[in-house]
């Protein structure tokens, strides 16, 4: 939204001149981004269903980002977060009409957005894996020409089973550093012969790449394919990759700081560094 690059019909006509730029939902106005998310009667019906008042909906804007900035000055943080979730669902609803020729009722779309927003807020804490699974949280940061990484593995009770933290002499960007942390996670799991794994990170771009590796043709995409092949063919792991907000990945993040201070690579079992004790305890209780 901020860069106005979602593929509205107006955007498509800039590439394909013969394309019709009229809104596929209301059929009366050009489908700009601000129209698709705010001014279209279908979108407005969903916003009103969510309880937004006229002060938020009134006004004429050429760019969606201008509207969003004005709204951000009006709403508190919770309400603004709900609005962004609603706009995401409005765009999904629009895509359902375009690609599937199905349309949800405004209240259904609002209820879906409200449930998603509540679910996200309710789960702002590390979640224990199912019995029999091992969850490995990993994180990395860059410091000059070095990578500091942290890996911590826990069971369904939140007990620490082991981990690894260290420093690598590599000059890479942040996403590549996260990928190296994942590789360290996998290597550590191999030493423990764990076979049912959940890998959790707060790097959303990497998790998206891992879960869509079959369509990622970048250099990193090829590296990820090699990693997944190793997991599937050599180790016979049952594994998944999930994203979690930063607040759910604090133990791995603190291990990165600890590793930077120690300037070495260290494995640990249940005797994890004291620096992460409070976070481990809080996660296990909550």
The yes-or-no verdict on residue 120 having pLDDT over 70 is: no
- Within the chain, how many helices (H) and strands (E) appear? 12, 6
Q: Which two tokens stand for residue 274?
A: 């004291």
pLDDT tens readout for residues 131-187: 999 999 999 998 888 999 999 999 999 999 999 999 999 888 888 999 999 999 999
Tell me how far apart the alpha carbons of residues 23 and 187 are, in angstroms, rounded to a whole number: 51
Helix boundaries (H) for the chain? 9-13, 33-34, 41-49, 54-57, 64-74, 77-95, 106-122, 174-192, 204-211, 219-229, 250-262, 277-285
* β-bridge partners, 238: 196
Domains and CATH numbers, the chain: 9-122 (no CATH), 134-285 (3.30.420.10)
Give the phi and the psi of residue 135 in degrees, each rounded to 5.
Answer: -100, 125
Q: Convert the pLDDT of each residue in 245-267 to its tens digit.
A: 888 899 999 999 999 999 989 99
Q: What is the pTM of this model?
A: 0.61
User: How large a percentage of the chain has pLDDT more than 90?
Assistant: 41
Hey, what's the torsion of the CAs at 127, 131, 132, 133, to 10 degrees? -10
Question: Region 112-117: what's the mean pLDDT?
Answer: 73
């Amino acid at each position: 939204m901020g860069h106005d690059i979602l593929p509205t019909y107006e955007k498509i006509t800039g590439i394909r001149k013969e394309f019709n730029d009229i809104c596929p939902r209301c059929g009366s106005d050009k489908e700009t981004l601000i129209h698709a998310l705010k001014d279209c009667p279908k979108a407005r019906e969903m916003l009103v269903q969510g309880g937004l008042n006229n002060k938020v909906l009134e006004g004429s804007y050429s760019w969606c980002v201008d509207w969003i900035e004005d709204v951000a000055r009006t709403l508190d943080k919770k309400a603004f977060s709900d609005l962004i979730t609603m706009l995401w669902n409005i765009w999904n609803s629009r895509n359902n009409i375009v690609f599937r020729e199905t349309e949800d009722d405004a209240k259904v779309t609002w209820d879906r957005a409200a449930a998603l927003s509540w679910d996200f807020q309710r789960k702002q804490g590390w979640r224990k894996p199912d019995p029999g699974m091992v969850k490995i949280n990993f994180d990395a940061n860059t410091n000059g020409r070095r990578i500091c990484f942290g890996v911590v593995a826990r069971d369904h009770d939140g007990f620490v089973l082991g981990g690894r933290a260290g420093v690598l002499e590599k000059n890479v960007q942040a996403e590549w550093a996260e990928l190296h942390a994942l590789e360290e996670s996998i290597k550590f799991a191999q030493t423990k012969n764990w076979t049912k794994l959940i890998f959790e990170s707060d790097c959303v771009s990497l998790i998206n790449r891992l879960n869509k590796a079959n369509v990622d043709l970048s250099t990193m995409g090829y590296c990820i394919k090699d990693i997944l092949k190793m997991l599937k063919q050599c180790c016979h792991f049952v594994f998944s990759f999930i994203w979690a907000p930063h607040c759910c990945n604090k133990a791995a993040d603190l291990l990165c700081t600890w590793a930077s201070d120690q300037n070495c690579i260290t494995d640990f079992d249940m005797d994890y560094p004291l620096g992460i004790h409070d976070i481990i305890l809080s996660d296990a209780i909550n």
